[in-house]
Amino acid sequence: MDPSQVKIPPMKDLTADNITQNVHTINSLCEDERMKYVLERLVTHLHDFARETRLSTQEWMTGLLFLTEVGKICTDVRQEFILLSDVLGLSLLVDSIGHPKPPGSTEGTVLGPFHTHDAEEITTGASMSHDPKGEPLLVVCTLKDTTGRPIPNVKIDIWETDSTGHYDVQYPGRDKPDGRCYMHSGEDGVFWFNAITPVPYPIPHDGPVGKLLKKLHRHPYRPSHMHFMFEKEGYDHLITALYLRNDPYETSDAVFGVKNSLVVDIGRAGPEYARKYGVAEDHALLTYDFVLVSDTETGDLRARNSKEALDKLGRKVKIVNGLPVPDLD
């Protein structure tokens, strides 16, 4: 590139005091308003972090080498960067910002790295786990919108570990999916299936993220849970999970996924359930009423929350394509 064509203010004599402004200046040619804003905030916080901690060269290098290790262990089926984001609480934060929930609707939680796209469709009442050692569990759910109307024909992905706390993809010889399925809600918004009672398990901790947890004296366990993902045009994509009450890790989830509204009790089927769903009386039973939010409601709430949060920070913003950018008018 011909230096005479470069139309940005010249930078000279960069110091710890003016480096930040100079980086903003050189990045300011970016035509994408949102990217420019995100980069400007990222650089500001990164620089402030270094200034505030008086980051040493050795610590800076330790950080870079750590990220290098995180990258090296990633494969098609292992995403250590997502795991890092999970254990730092960033995944949950980003989900909460992007998918705000009005009162009464089902809250979201972390996706985790074990959702796959090869699950088989099951019909209502079928079993999604074939682990003979798991405790059989009947799961009966309803799916409604925020006005209480049932939502039919929603695609629902469901996944859980086997009774040893491993997902099918963690077995090297996996030849077909198990402990996972997808199904559709009925005309009455009801969906039900057979599964096994979830158990607690550790997140993958044989890599750099595991080492980090160890240094921090943190355990790698997630409380017993079952994952759900709901998709239907017009509704905000919901990624969530149900957590068993009184699990030993209920209040110390390694990835911060537990929310009160998602904690459930495992009950026992009474005579009516036993007859209706073809299980023995006393069979373990999980029931839950999910509530989905429309795309429009979510978009409006997200924009309102963004404005409010940035207002508090004294920033004037406008919403473009659903996301805030500085309002310079």
Footprint of Fe ion (CB under 5 A): 112
The identity of residue 265, as a single letter, is D
Q: Rounded distance, CA 296 to CA 303, Å?
A: 11
Q: Rounded distance, CA 260 to CA 20, Å?
A: 41
**Residue 302 near which of Fe ion, ligand BEZ, none (CB within 5-8 Å, type-dependent):** none
Q: Rounded distance, CA 142 to CA 127, Å?
A: 18
Per-residue binder mask for ligand BEZ (CB under 6 A), 32-71, x = binder: ----------------------------------------
Q: Rounded distance, CA 53 to CA 44, Å?
A: 14
- Counting contacts by CB under 6 A, is residue 113 touching ligand BEZ? yes
Stretch that binds ligand BEZ, among 35-43, 109-117, 126-134, 306-314 (CB under 6 A): 109-117
CB of 314 to ligand BEZ, least distance (A): 35
Write out the two tokens for 217. Answer: 């004296």
Stretch that binds ligand BEZ, among 94-102, 112-120, 184-192, 230-238 (CB under 6 A): 112-120
**Residue 128 near which of ligand BEZ, Fe ion, none (CB within 5-8 Å, type-dependent):** none
Out of 85, 100, 108, 112, name the contact with ligand BEZ by CB under 6 A: 112
Out of 37, 114, 235, 290, name the contact with ligand BEZ by CB under 6 A: 114
The identity of residue 90, as a single letter, is L
Residue 9, C-beta contacts closer than 8 angstroms, at least 6 positions apart: 25
Residue 84, C-beta contacts closer than 8 angstroms, at least 6 positions apart: 70, 208, 209, 212
CA distances, 12 to each of 1, 8, 201 (Å): 20, 12, 54
- Counting contacts by CB under 6 A, is residue 255 touching ligand BEZ? yes
SS3 323: strand
**Residue 110 near which of ligand BEZ, Fe ion, none (CB within 5-8 Å, type-dependent):** ligand BEZ
**Residue 196 near which of ligand BEZ, Fe ion, none (CB within 5-8 Å, type-dependent):** none
> What are the residues binding ligand BEZ (CB under 6 A)?
83, 86, 110, 112-114, 203, 222, 255
